[in-house]
Amino acid sequence: MNLLESVRVALEGIMASKLRSFLTTLGIVIGIAAVIAVVAIGQGGRAVLMSEMEKIGTNIFAIYVDWRSEKPLTGREFDLSDVAVIKDMVPGITHLSPHNQIMWDIRGSKEKIRARITGVSSDYAYIRKFNLKEGRFFTEEDDAGKRRVAVLDEELAKQVFGRSQALGSKVTLGDTPFLVTGIIARGESALGFSETPGVYIPIEVWQVMFNGQVQMLEGSAVSKDKVDEVTGQAVKILERRHRDSGKYASESMEQQMQAANKITGIMTMVIGAIAGISLFVGGIGVMNIMLVSVTERTREIGIRMALGARRRDILTQFLIEAVILCLLGGVIGMALGAGGACLIAGLANWPPLVSWWTALLAFAFSASIGMIFGILPANKASRLNPIEALRRD
């Protein structure tokens, strides 16, 4: 029996009872739709996350005291001279800045709020690729002169100054007045990430105001491939200078991206697997109805056998019918899933990614469900005794 004729007979059978065929394959429709939607949303989410992180910079890193280390802390794990030495000795590091943070009161012309006060060097603007809305970031001269200058981010400036002019005004940290020299433009974030509003001041001023420690170092490498290498070198230098090994740890954006990638991948897989279970259930539904169909069509099978159908012909005919049912379900499910993904992603404001391989996989998957769950009914049909089958009403 040729394939085309089997397909034709199967389609006629499906069209003859449209509602029943649709209900039979509904499990497949829902399963495929769920898998497609979940994978599309997951992929889209991951892509957005990655682009966010890339915007921040894939070549940046931080070196800090390893909290897992059980060695006693001295408070002198870093000092300012480390920065210059490391920059000098590791050519792969383009910028390096000390990085101290504390929550403190800040008062502008309008309001006093608690904010993040960060002490950094002038390099920091290059590491984080700050985009200045007004004014400038502080310079090496500001660093060296321990000038009381502050750079506010847009959000904080709005909070403490309201509508009045922030640039050039005085802002008070604790009791110390600072001159506002720059406003950092707020970055656009599709995911809606927002850091707590903050103000940046020269590190040495920060040390005078709070304490003499350096909490951690932040830097950027010439490229993202060099990050691991240069952080390794920097850590070695620190261990040598402070005669203190096993205390320093580093982290790079690259590592974080890989971790995020892995997490989103695992989540997509887990949810996809749950959706896959519904496909399995759908397959059982198809098998069930196909078994009923074999019983109902016993006489047809008997007639076909009398006309010369071999057992193999009957087997393929029913198998093809199951596969076509599942493929129809798969196609409908794919459309629904892609539509659903677009809808949800539209609400969440990130682009869904329905990749061609997901579609292909879903197609192949629904076909194989048809095969797997169709084989039992098809086999049952092909094993009928023609005489008994012909006698059946």
Contact letters for another protein, residues 248-287 (x by CB under 8 A): ----------------------------------------
User: Dihedral, CA atoms, 353, 356, 362, 364, nearest 10 degrees?
Assistant: -170
Task: Work out which of 300, 323, 345, 365 binds another protein, going by CB under 8 A.
Answer: 300
Contact letters for another protein, residues 2-21 (x by CB under 8 A): x-xx------xx--x-----
Give the binding range for another protein (CB under 8 A) out of 129-137, 173-181, 297-305, 361-369: 297-305
Using DSSP bridges, classify how beta strands 198-202 and 149-153 pair: parallel, antiparallel or unpaired.
Answer: antiparallel
Helix (H, G, I), strand (E, B) or coil at 206: helix
Shortest gap between Cβ of 385 and another protein (angstroms)?
A: 9
Shortest gap between Cβ of 285 and another protein (angstroms)?
A: 23
At 357, the amino acid letter reads W
Contact 115, 198 (CB under 8 A): yes
Task: Work out which of 10, 28, 309, 369 binds another protein, going by CB under 8 A.
Answer: 309
Contact 345, 259 (CB under 8 A): no
User: ∠ CA(58), CA(137), CA(229), 5° rounding?
Assistant: 30
Q: Return the structure tokens found at 203.
A: 């590190």
Contact 77, 242 (CB under 8 A): yes
> Is residue 387 near another protein by the rule CB under 8 A?
yes
Nearer to another protein, 71 or 312 (CB): 312
Nearer to another protein, 20 or 158 (CB): 20
Shortest gap between Cβ of 325 and another protein (angstroms)?
A: 17
Nearer to another protein, 39 or 384 (CB): 384
Q: Under rule CB under 8 A, how many of the chain's residues touch another protein? A: 24
Q: Return the structure tokens found at 73.
A: 């802390």
> Is residue 229 near another protein by the rule CB under 8 A?
no
Helix (H, G, I), strand (E, B) or coil at 346: helix
Nearer to another protein, 129 or 310 (CB): 310
**Sign, Cα dihedral of 172, 176, 178, 183:** negative
> Is residue 307 near another protein by the rule CB under 8 A?
yes
> Is residue 305 near another protein by the rule CB under 8 A?
yes
Nearer to another protein, 344 or 390 (CB): 390
> Is residue 390 near another protein by the rule CB under 8 A?
yes
Task: Work out which of 23, 277, 306, 343 binds another protein, going by CB under 8 A.
Answer: 306
Shortest gap between Cβ of 319 and another protein (angstroms)?
A: 17
Q: By C-alpha distance, which of 116, 76, 80, 75 is closest to 97?
A: 80
For residue 115, list its beta bridge partners.
104
In angstroms, the CA 51 to CA 227 distance is 19
> Is residue 191 near another protein by the rule CB under 8 A?
no
Q: By C-alpha distance, which of 167, 177, 178, 172 is closest to 135?
A: 167
Helix (H, G, I), strand (E, B) or coil at 115: strand
Nearer to another protein, 63 or 309 (CB): 309
Interface ranges with another protein (CB under 8 A): 1-2, 4-5, 12-13, 16, 299-300, 302-313, 386-387, 390
